[in-house]
Amino acid sequence: MIKVAVLGYGTVGSGVVEVLEKNSEALSKKALDELSVKYILDLRDFPGDPHEDKIVHDYKQIVEDEEIKIICETMGGVGAAYEFTKQALMAGKSVCTSNKELVALHGPELIALAKENKCNYLFEASVGGGIPIIRPINCALTAEKIEVIAGILNGTTNYILSKMEKEGAEFETVLKEAQELGYAERNPEADVEGHDACRKIAILSSLMLGKHVDYSKIYTEGITKITPVDFAYAKAMGMSIKLLAVSKECDDKAFAMVSPRMISAEHPLHMVNDVFNAVFVTGNMLGDSMYYGKGAGKLPTASAVVGDVVDCARHLGKTVTCIWDSEEAPLMDVADAQNKFFFRVKTGNEERVKDVFGNPEAVKLPGVEDEVAYVTGSLTEKDFAQKYEKIADICVGNRIRVGF
Amino acid sequence: MIKVAVLGYGTVGSGVVEVLEKNSEALSKKALDELSVKYILDLRDFPGDPHEDKIVHDYKQIVEDEEIKIICETMGGVGAAYEFTKQALMAGKSVCTSNKELVALHGPELIALAKENKCNYLFEASVGGGIPIIRPINCALTAEKIEVIAGILNGTTNYILSKMEKEGAEFETVLKEAQELGYAERNPEADVEGHDACRKIAILSSLMLGKHVDYSKIYTEGITKITPVDFAYAKAMGMSIKLLAVSKECDDKAFAMVSPRMISAEHPLHMVNDVFNAVFVTGNMLGDSMYYGKGAGKLPTASAVVGDVVDCARHLGKTVTCIWDSEEAPLMDVADAQNKFFFRVKTGNEERVKDVFGNPEAVKLPGVEDEVAYVTGSLTEKDFAQKYEKIADICVGNRIRVGF
């Protein structure tokens, strides 16, 4: 029997205990041994909880217990979680985590520490919730040189955008509804400003390159400026608007960006709606592939953590290969990134737009007389910004990138 | 350096050599050692081929060479391929294969043989070409009890159906075009009658259940009877028609079936067009997930084989867990399977249809006066067949299952 400890009895932590119990029979088969929760670390007591007897408040009890082989870190944050993870790995105990912030910040250090101590630091749940994406990249797409990763990595923003699209509603209205339904936090900044997606694309980019991508250097733009009018134009062009985290390898540099993008109906990411997430991966041999599923939620996330537990159980005393060096990956200057752009101007300025942008494709909305939209060809961010500045006085609303 | 042999220098075999060469630098990193092709087994000579010097005609030379640790079986068939695979595994050499027929037929025996000899028999390329699906099921979705697998597993039929849908063309016309383009074989039976998809769903079902599903017992129906009129009705209902291989676990029995099905536009499988494949998986914790990519083709398939080679290299002397016992999984009697059915009858028979089917949903095509279509509620196959027989004299065309 393999004894497991769970750090943090919140949503994901209690989900982990639930998955381990509900699927215990199948898990024993797959892990080649029985898995059993011995401790649950939490500051709180849980009187009446069926697992009340497993609650402990002192981490020492867990990390010093020889019997504990695997620890699920589902407490979040980068303070205690970081310390506890280091102590566990140094004690030769494998750690499975859903903590994207910690992975994005200290991934390579903790992976190296696991290797030194012949155990594992696994983090399938840190990106895309229940969607297997870390393991496919690390263990399945190993024959590929991955060229592009583009992900819908945040369920809250995808829910909001899907709803805005379907109902023609304003961002603020839908956000409020999402908050009431519990799909968005009371302080929604981490989601709607793209910070959550940024951590996740930093992790995926690091795995793509085998080097560390610093998330604080990734250009990140949220969805707060998107309006129903933008969706009307997108629809007229057979497109939708998604918050996309995009990463590409360009001449040994990484390009990474989080921003809303218009996506054509022919693209597989187009149909990813509501709280679903998806990661689109292009490899140099395989071509395009996509991984789709629930990106968040108690049980999907817990399922990914427990999948990691099974992998740790199968590899006790051995480290699963994960190539993510601490060496920092050089990031391409965002100013040099090539994109197509959608923007709107007041009618009657066709000549000025042509003077500045050459001959961008014009898009008109039926019944809308006072403005016209354009889609540029591929331009560098810098080039576009300079041109856009020149017509700032006639622009309406926000510019949005098109495709990737 | 790890020496590799390739059996069969055809499309996939030459792709394997190409992938190993083109991505050799990245592969060395990921496999933790250099990978190098020492032999290519083929009956033919390849004068002038850059790998001419590696061609051998006698398998003995490979299987008796201590240096060879990994063998890629890309020759196909179940005769020599079976013998060679057994000999390799008995010699402690891992085998990576794209041979779905051999895997479906002898999977459990070869997996057990690999385990006995501390090596691996891996077959990611046997289902879904380059789409990682075997490894996600075996190594990532391990915390799940998988409840449903539904796959578009054959690129040829999906190409034909997509084209029929887009162009309103007849099956025979599109098949001929596909043959001219090389997307369909001159003898297309294995594809268009569903046999290829049947082998693949047998493999996936076996992994879902951990027991052997005999493909010869899976009810299989091809796409030859699908007509442009069926697509017109599907479109009118917001649906498409796909050849789906479906497998479900029902009370410890497996239900498996290959047949055309109408799929609603809201379902993620709906957007899987042309030569793309996808596998939709529902787990009891994760809910719905989907894996999408190129299901065939030289380089995608070769990429999957080489991904397996990397896994073998990482696990020399150790067997990767794969639960697929030789015990046969009991299959549910198809007669008891529940499905919804679409069928068409000559107009003027509404009362007879009502008498037999209760009140099925009627669908009319604008401009079509001489027939009307119906969609039933959920019925057993047996029940439907009996009822359908009663109105055989007024039926037009083919019945098609709806959803899954």
> Is the CB of residue A195 less than 8 Å from the CB of residue A260?
no
> Concatenated DSSP letters for A93-105?
-EEEE--HHHHHH
**Residue B374 three-state SS:** strand
- Band the pLDDT of B12: cuts 50, 70, 90: very high
Cβ atoms B218, B331 nearer than 8 A: yes
Q: Return the number of other C-beta atoms located less than 10 Å from residue A194's C-beta.
A: 28
Token output for B107: 């999977």
% of chain B surpassing 90 pLDDT: 97
Nearest residue of chain A to residue B24 (CA atoms): A143
Mean pLDDT along residues A111-131 = 96
- Catalytic site positions of B: 200
pLDDT higher than threshold 80 for residue B163: yes
Residue B252 pLDDT more than 80? no
Query: For position B157, what pLDDT does the model report?
Result: 97
B19-65 residue pLDDT tens:
999 999 999 999 999 999 999 999 999 999 999 999 999 999 999 99
Which contacts of A183-189 are long-range, i.e. CB under 8 A and separated by 24 or more positions? A183/A155, A183/A156, A183/A159, A183/A275, A184/A156, A184/A159, A184/A160, A185/A156, A188/A156
Report pLDDT for A252.
74
Given an 8 Å threshold on Cβ–Cβ distance, is B142 in contact with A307? yes
User: What CATH code is assigned to B2-130+298-314?
Assistant: 3.40.50.720
Cβ atoms of residues A345 and A354 within 8 Å: no
The two beta strands, B35-41 and B55-56, are parallel
The answer, yes or no, to whether residue B80 has pLDDT greater than 90, is yes
What one-letter code names the amino acid at A121? Y
pLDDT on residue B126: 97
Q: For residue A250, what pLDDT is reported?
A: 85
Residue in A closest to B143 by C-alpha: A307
Phi, psi of B342 (to 5 degrees): -105, 135
Contact A285 B268 (CB under 8 A): no
The helix, strand and coil proportions of chain B, stated in percent and rounded to the nearest 5, come to: 40, 25, 30
Q: Do A140 and B142 touch (CB under 8 A)?
A: no
Pick from B267, B279, B303 the residue to mutate for testing the A interface (most A CBs within 10 Å): B303
**CB contact, 8 Å: B346 with chain A?**
no
Q: State how far the Cα of B88 lies from the Cα of B62, in Å rounded to an integer.
A: 9
**Phi and psi dihedrals of A329, rounded to 5?**
-75, 130
Query: Does residue B250 carry a pLDDT above 90?
Result: no
Q: Find the residue in B nearest to A132 (Cα).
A: B140
Hey, are the CB atoms on B307 and A31 less than 8 Å from each other?
no
The alpha carbon of residue B326 and the mean position of all alpha carbons in its chain are separated, in whole angstroms, by: 20
The domain defined by B134-294 folds into: Dihydrodipicolinate Reductase; domain 2 (3.30.360)
The string of pLDDT tens digits covering residues A199-209 is 999 999 999 99
In this structure, are strands A68-73 and A219-220 parallel, antiparallel, or unpaired?
unpaired
- CATH, domain range B334-402: 3.30.70.120
pLDDT band at B68 (very low <50, low <70, confident <90, very high): very high
Pairing mode of beta strands A239-250, B287-294: unpaired
- Cα separation, B373 vs A164, in Å, equals 36
Residue B115 CB burial class (10 angstroms; 0-12, 13-18, ≥19): middle
Strand partners, B152: B278
**Mean of pLDDT values over B369-389:** 97
Q: What is the pTM of this model?
A: 0.96
Q: What is the pLDDT of residue A223?
A: 98
d(CA A161, CA A170): 10
Q: How many CB pairs under 8 A join A and B?
A: 171
Could you tell me which of B129, B57, B128, B69 has the C-alpha nearest to residue B94? Answer: B69
- Angle between helices B155-167 and B171-181 in degrees, nearest 10: 130
| pLDDT-derived band at A11, boundaries 50, 70, 90 | very high
Question: How far apart are the CA of B255 and the nearest CA of chain A, in angstroms?
Answer: 19
Taking a C-beta distance cutoff of 8 angstroms, is the pair A294, A275 a contact? yes
- The whole-number pLDDT of residue B130 equals 86
Q: Tell me the domain boundaries of chain A.
A: 2-130+298-314, 134-294, 335-402
Residue A144: closest CA among A319, A247, A281:
A281
A249 touches B at CB < 8 Å: no
Show residues of chain A in contact with B294, CB under 8 Å: 286-289
CA nearest neighbour of A23 among B284, B184, B183: B284
Residues 6+ apart with CB under 8 A from A21: none
Q: Which residues of A, range 142-161, sit inside 8 Å of B by Cβ? A: 142-145
With a CB-CB cutoff of 8 Å, which residues 63-92 of chain B face chain A? none
From residue B390, how far is each of B348, B384, B400 by CA, in Å?
A: 16, 10, 17
What is the mean pLDDT of the segment spanning A116-128? 97
What CATH class does A335-402 carry? alpha beta
The predicted structure's pLDDT at residue A130: 86
Query: Hey, is the C-beta of B168 within 8 angstroms of any chain A C-beta?
Result: no
pLDDT tens digits for range A134-163: 999 999 999 999 999 999 999 999 999 999
Q: For helices A195-209 and A100-116, give the axis angle rounded to 10 degrees.
A: 30
